């Protein structure tokens, strides 16, 4: 009965990139099937939320910031590690040596990862700046809709751009939010 006292630790499980979500599902199904659910804590795919502008609309996408890895909280006793390794799409554990014993992640690493997930949940508005100075953009919103201009200044903190457009033949600076323009194709 000694195994009950072994606590859960976090491990990085390598999986086929792009199949992380499916693999997570396979792991959970397999654990339920083999009755090992009590040895498994959380199964996480570290993702971050990024906004992209698609057809003038703001789309929230989840991007895997650790492609090819699934974080699992588990008590790797007995057959458990072996069972996990045999799950479809699982390549193996992250370990010090090739094929060596799975190395638990340090709590600082785990907290950073979980923190990143929480932090991102809070700052979901954090958008990667999709513009560069000098780039040509089209105004898609507001009174100057359909005007084309070039970016003069990017005010990251305000999430605004200064765009130089020609109005009646005169170059005029407009202050527009990121959401009011799109890249010129």
What distance in Å separates the CA atoms of residue 82 and residue 68, rounded to the nearest whole number? 19
| Of 61, 105, 80, the residue nearest 3 (C-alpha) | 80
> Can you give the pLDDT at residue 127?
52
| Structural domains in the chain plus CATH codes | 2-122 (3.30.70.940), 136-183 (2.30.30.30)
* Residue 92 scores a pLDDT above 70: yes
* Residue 63 scores a pLDDT above 90: no
pLDDT tens column, 107-126: 777 777 666 555 544 454 45
Question: What pTM was estimated for this model as a whole?
Answer: 0.55
pLDDT tens column, 126-159: 556 778 899 999 998 888 889 999 999 988 878 8
């Amino acid at each position: 009965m000694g195994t009950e006292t072994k606590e859960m630790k976090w491990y990085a499980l390598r999986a086929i990139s792009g199949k992380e979500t499916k693999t997570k599902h396979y792991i959970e199904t397999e654990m339920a099937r083999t009755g090992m659910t009590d040895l498994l804590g959380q199964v996480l795919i570290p993702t971050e939320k990024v906004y992209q502008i698609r057809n003038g609309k703001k789309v929230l996408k989840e991007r895997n910031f650790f492609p090819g890895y699934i974080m699992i909280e588990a008590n790797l006793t007995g057959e458990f590690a072996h069972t996990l390794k045999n799950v479809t799409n699982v390549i193996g554990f992250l370990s010090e040596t090739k094929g060596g014993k799975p190395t638990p992640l340090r709590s600082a690493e785990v907290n950073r990862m979980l923190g990143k997930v929480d932090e991102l949940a809070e700052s979901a508005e954090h958008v990667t700046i999709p513009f560069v100075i000098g780039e040509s953009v089209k105004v898609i919103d507001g009174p100057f809709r359909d005007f084309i201009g070039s970016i003069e200044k990017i005010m990251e903190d305000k999430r605004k751009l200064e765009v130089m457009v020609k109005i009646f033949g005169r170059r005029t600076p407009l202050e527009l939010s990121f959401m009011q323009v799109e890249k010129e194709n």
